[in-house]
Structure 1
């Protein structure tokens, strides 16, 4: 039976980032560093760390199935025209990569896609997902697009609720 994916879209032009700034402050006050892959450096070592983090966090997605191999991940997610290391927001706890919000650039089509947001289990409950998503929405502003899109499995209630809290609404598109 096919999955009826939940498609959500955010109107970037109506988004009030200041309303969610306390999440970013709380993370920084807790000693967590929010950055991007561009700021850290898009290096082979950092790409491997990103892969490991994405693989671990993706295990929580309902019916996700087996994750890509590293080579598949690089060819399908990083070595594509829509990849921009500025769109990969990371949360670091010291040297530990504890969260990511990866967005891809589809500005020619008028939007950015939030591909994946995830936080390692030991770092959940601190508002990291929202803080990283806020910075990811900033990436959409940088790209000059009016919309951010994301897709979720219907059983991924926490992710759907978080996006709705940010202002994402149900959407349809081809």
Structure 2
């Protein structure tokens, strides 16, 4: 077994995507998304990838990085994969990963893995524990009837989109950022959410090629933004991915979140998409209940795993 670092060449990007999609076909990656990820690393963030080769051919990889969606201090996120038939290399791969990680002295390792994948048992056998679950759910728009859910909005509320605004301007982006971060702070989850600074959010979100301004639906009261439901492009065929959906506490229980979701689903159908996917923390019962009522069907849960490490200080 030979280990070599990812060299950021076109060939290595293509190799990484090809391996990842072969091992995890239900979580497809694209070259564009991977390049965007590397181009938007924050100050001091870590991201390293290594290929596993056998007989001169890449048969797997491992990687570790500062967690992108919740970059808590001292934590590194890990991932790995091996092509079918090369599972006996798992122990050697993990040993190599631990040696590379040791140079960074992390306080904890985190990872995300589907509950029905063999990697879940592999991680747990090495001291990882479940600290959160997320439920991926899919709505088949061909079988969805919105009529039973239609309700009149409060007279003071209107729904528009990010595309209706001068969303390239910093002033609009800062208003939108204020709404998004206020809602993210309030999303029920097992760990406190660490928010991206505005400039990093600009690079990662507003310049993401998967952003669809026309599918970022915003609830307004006057000029104030009070709620949002986002749809993003997805590498899955005929599918849009739900991003953040939420309403400020001051405007809840007025049917606004439901109206935003319905507007987003109608957009997806009008654009010819067949499916809309979403992900919800298991503790986020209000949004889980709303999605279940709309007809979203759950898939196997994604486990969020964590292993605490004890780093001895040098004397």
Q: Give the structure-1-normalised TM-score.
A: 0.89
Higher RCO (CA 8 Å, separation ≥ 6 residues): 1
**Using the alignment, how far apart are the partners of 2:198 and 2:271 within structure 1?**
28
Correspondence for 1:39: 164
**Using the alignment, how far apart are the partners of 2:203 and 2:231 within structure 1?**
16
Corresponding residue to 2:179 among 44, 53, 62: 53
> 1:40 deviation in Å?
2.6
> 1:172 deviation in Å?
4.5
**Using the alignment, how far apart are the partners of 1:158 and 1:41 within structure 2?**
32
> 1:64 deviation in Å?
4.7
Matched, 1:80 2:205: no
Structure with the greater alpha carbon radius of gyration: 2
**Using the alignment, how far apart are the partners of 2:287 and 2:252 within structure 1?**
12
Correspondence for 1:110: 238
> 1:162 deviation in Å?
0.8
Q: Give the structure-2-normalised TM-score.
A: 0.51
The aligned length equals 170
**Using the alignment, how far apart are the partners of 1:103 and 1:36 within structure 2?**
11
Of Structure 1 and Structure 2, the greater helix share is in 1
Residue pair 1:83, 1:105 contacting (<8 A) in 2 also? yes
Q: Could you list the runs of 5+ residues in structure 2 that have no partner in the other structure? A: 1-128, 303-315
> 1:145 deviation in Å?
1.4
What pairs with 1:158-173 in structure 2 (closer than 5 Å)?
158-172=286-300
Of Structure 1 and Structure 2, the greater strand share is in 2
**Using the alignment, how far apart are the partners of 1:20 and 1:41 within structure 2?**
32
Correspondence for 1:16: 145
Correspondence for 2:133: 4
What pairs with 1:58-69 in structure 2 (closer than 5 Å)?
58-61=184-187, 62=189, 63-69=191-197
**Using the alignment, how far apart are the partners of 2:278 and 2:204 within structure 1?**
17
**Using the alignment, how far apart are the partners of 2:234 and 2:292 within structure 1?**
22
> 1:173 deviation in Å?
9.5
What pairs with 1:20-31 in structure 2 (closer than 5 Å)?
20-22=149-151, 25=152, 27=153, 29-31=154-156
**Using the alignment, how far apart are the partners of 1:41 and 1:87 within structure 2?**
15
Alpha carbon RMSD of aligned pairs, Å?
1.9
Runs of 4+ that moved beyond 3 A = none
**Using the alignment, how far apart are the partners of 1:18 and 1:41 within structure 2?**
33
> 1:109 deviation in Å?
2.8
Residue pair 1:34, 1:132 contacting (<8 A) in 2 also? yes
**Using the alignment, how far apart are the partners of 1:108 and 1:143 within structure 2?**
15
> 1:41 deviation in Å?
3.3
Q: Could you list the runs of 5+ residues in structure 1 that have no partner in the other structure? A: none
Correspondence for 1:97: 225
Bigger mean CA deviation after superposition, 141-150 or 50-59: 141-150
